[in-house]
Amino acid sequence: MLSLAGILALFSIVRAAIVPGATWTDTSGNVIQAHGGGFLKVGSTYYWFGEDKSSNSALFHAVSCYSSTDLTSWTRQNDALTPIAGTMISTNNIVELLFNSKNQEYVMWFHSDTSNYGAAMVGVATAKAPCGPYTYKSSWKPLNADSRDESLFLDGNAYLLYASDNNQNFKITQLDTDFYNVTTTVSELAGSTLEAPGIVKRNGVYFLIASHTSGWNPNPNKYFRATSIAGPWSAQADIAPAATRTYYSQNAYDLPLGSSAIYMGDRWRSDLLGTSTYIWYPLDFSSGNPQIIHADVWNLNIAAGTYSTVTGTSYEAEAGTISGSATIASSSAFSGGKIVGFLGNGGAVTISVQGSNAAQWIALYYANGDSTWRNTTVSVNGGTPVVVQQPSSGGGQVVISVPVELQLRSGTNTITFSAGQSNYAADLDKIIVFPPS
Ligand SMILES: *[C@@H]1O[C@H](CO)[C@@H](O)[C@H](O)[C@H]1NC(C)=O
Ligand SMILES: *[C@@H]1O[C@H](CO)[C@@H](O)[C@H](O)[C@H]1NC(C)=O
C-alpha cells in the first residue's frame, strides 16, 4: 500500500519547477548531460537528446537520451549514439531527430566534425526506437557546402537548417522523403552569420530563432519572421534585452507550448563544459513576436499548454548589513538604484529574509563586468558557505541572475554573501526568495 508520505512525494516530483541555470539532475540523481539538445515527442513522451559532456571536452563522448512526460522530471535511457573508431562521429553542439512515418524509423541528424571544426559536415543515423541505439549511416557536406550548427524542422516536408559557408550564410534546405539527404535549398540568409537555429511556427508564421557566432560566449539571440519557410525573412530582432546576451545563453531548441513556446538554451561554460547548465524560459507571442519571459522559477502544465511564473519576495542588497571592504555603488541600472560591490577579501553583505522551513530557491541578481566567471560564497544563518558561480553579465551595469537552493528555517534567516580571499564576487544587486516548490 502506498503511504501518504509516498503520495506527497509523488506530487512533489510532478510539481517540480523549472529553474533555469540550476544544476538539473535526472530521476537517478545524476547531472543531466544533454547539451545542445534536440527534442522529440512520441505519444505523450518527450525525448531529450544531447551531448554528454561529462568528460568536460568538446569532443564526442555520446548522444544521450532522456525521457519525460512533463518536461521537468527526466529519466536517462541508453545512449542513442556512441563513438565509432575511424568514423566521422565526432559531434558538437546540436543533435536533431525526426520520426519518418514512411519508413517507420527515427532519423537523427547531427553536426559531424573534426576537433578543429574543419570538416563541417552533417551526420545521419537511424533507429527503430526513439532512443535507439542508432545505426550510423554517414557524414557529408550537404550540397557540397559547410554545415556546422544545424537543426531540423518538420512542416509537411522536413528541412535542414544550418550554418553554411564558414558560418557566413544560413541555409534552409529540404530533405528527401526518407530524411536521409538534402535536396534543394529553399531559403538562404546570406551574410547572416547565424548559428544554434530553431524554427517555431505560430499562427501560420514561421519564426527562426538563432544566435550569432561568438564561440562558447553568449550573444543576443535573434528572431526572424516569414509567412513562408522560403522567406522572405524579416530583419532580425531581439528575443530578450540585448545587453543580457539572452541571459547568458545560446538557443538550442524551441518547443511549441499552447499559444506560446519554450526557449531551450545552453549556458555554456567553455573551461568546464560538463558543468554547463540549461536555460529554459517561456517564449511569449502575445505581441505577435517571440519574447523571452525572464523567470527564475516557473512551472509548466503540458496538458493545458500553459506556464506560470513563480513570484518571490525581493530583498535589496543595499538594505543589508554591509561589512569590511564592501561598498555601495549607484546607478539607475540597478534595482533600487544601488548595488553592493567589493564582496570578498573581508567584504560581505548580510541580508535578513523570511523562510518557510524548507529548501527554497533564491535568485541572486548581480553584475559581473569581467569576461570571466566569478563566484560568491553564500552562508545561511552562519552555516558552511556554498559557492555559487556567476558568469559574466556582459557589463558592470548589466544585471542577470543565478539560482541557488538553500535550506531556510521558518521565520527570519540571515544570508551572508562574500567570496574566497583570492577574488571578489560579482556585485550584488538584490535577491529574490521563492516559496518552496
Ligand atoms: C546526397 O545527395 C547528393 C546529390 O544527389 C549525392 O551526391 C550524395 O552522395 C548524397 N549523400 C548521401 C549521404 O546520400
Ligand atoms: C571562484 O573564482 C575564482 C576566480 O575568480 C577561482 O580562482 C576559484 O577557483 C573559483 N572557485 C570555485 C569554487 O569555483
Read out DSSP for 346-408? Answer: TBEEEEEEEE-SEEEEEEEEEE--SSS-EEEEEEETT---EEEEE---SSTT--EEEEEEEEE
CA angle 79, 83, 87 (to 5 degrees): 145
- CA-proximal residue: ligand 1, atom 7 (nearest): 143
- Cα of 141 vs centre of ligand 1, distance in Å, is 9
**Whether residue 410 sits in one domain with residue 355:** yes
**Among 309, 329, 354, residue at a domain's last position:** 309
**Whether residue 366 sits in one domain with residue 300:** no
**Whether residue 122 sits in one domain with residue 100:** yes
Q: Where residue 125 sits, what CATH number does that domain have?
A: 2.115.10.20
Ligand closest to the CA atom of residue 125: 1
pLDDT for the residue 83: 82
pLDDT for the residue 59: 76
Residue 111: which of 187, 163, 69 has the closest Cα? Answer: 163
Residue 230: which of 198, 183, 186, 169 has the closest Cα? Answer: 186
* pLDDT at residue 9 is higher than 50: no
Region 406-422 average pLDDT: 94
Ligand 2 pocket, residue 269 CB under 6 Å: no
- Cα of 327 vs centre of ligand 2, distance in Å, is 21
**Among 280, 309, 338, residue at a domain's last position:** 309
Q: How would residue 89 be classed by pLDDT, with cut points 50, 70 and 90?
A: confident
**Whether residue 232 sits in one domain with residue 108:** yes
- Is 361 contained in some domain? yes
For every residue of 206-234, DSSP letters joined together read EEEEEEE-BTBS----EEEEESSTT-PPP
Question: pLDDT exceeding 90 applies to what percent of the chain?
Answer: 84
pLDDT for the residue 186: 97
**Whether residue 413 sits in one domain with residue 265:** no
* pLDDT at residue 11 is higher than 60: no
Ligand closest to the CA atom of residue 392: 2
- Residue 396: which domain range? 313-433
pLDDT for the residue 420: 83
Q: What is the pLDDT of residues 330-386, one digit of tens each?
A: 999 999 999 999 999 999 999 999 999 999 999 999 999 999 999 999 999 999 999
Ligand 2 pocket, residue 272 CB under 6 Å: no
**Whether residue 283 sits in one domain with residue 158:** yes
Q: How would residue 7 be classed by pLDDT, with cut points 50, 70 and 90?
A: very low
Residue 414: which of 400, 399, 431 has the closest Cα? Answer: 431
Residue 317: which of 348, 351, 293, 286 has the closest Cα? Answer: 351
**Whether residue 108 sits in one domain with residue 89:** yes
Number of compact structural domains in the chain: 2
* pLDDT at residue 1 is higher than 90: no
- Is 29 contained in some domain? no
Q: What is the pLDDT of residues 260-293, one digit of tens each?
A: 999 999 999 999 999 999 999 999 999 999 999 9
**Among 255, 277, 309, residue at a domain's last position:** 309
- Cα of 375 vs centre of ligand 2, distance in Å, is 6
- Is 113 contained in some domain? yes
**Atom of ligand 2 minimally distant from the CA of 387:** 13
pLDDT for the residue 115: 77
**Atom of ligand 2 minimally distant from the CA of 424:** 5
pLDDT for the residue 87: 72
* pLDDT at residue 10 is higher than 50: no
**Atom of ligand 2 minimally distant from the CA of 389:** 14
* pLDDT at residue 3 is higher than 50: no
Q: What is the pLDDT of residues 115-138, one digit of tens each?
A: 777 888 999 999 999 999 999 999
Task: Give the residue with greater pLDDT, 205 vs 56.
Answer: 205
pTM over 0.85: yes
Residues with CB under 6 A from ligand 1: 138, 140, 180-181
Ligand 2 pocket, residue 185 CB under 6 Å: no
- Provide the residue type at 64 as one letter: S
Ligand 2 pocket, residue 423 CB under 6 Å: yes
Ligand 2 pocket, residue 374 CB under 6 Å: yes
**Atom of ligand 1 minimally distant from the CA of 181:** 1
- Is 27 contained in some domain? no
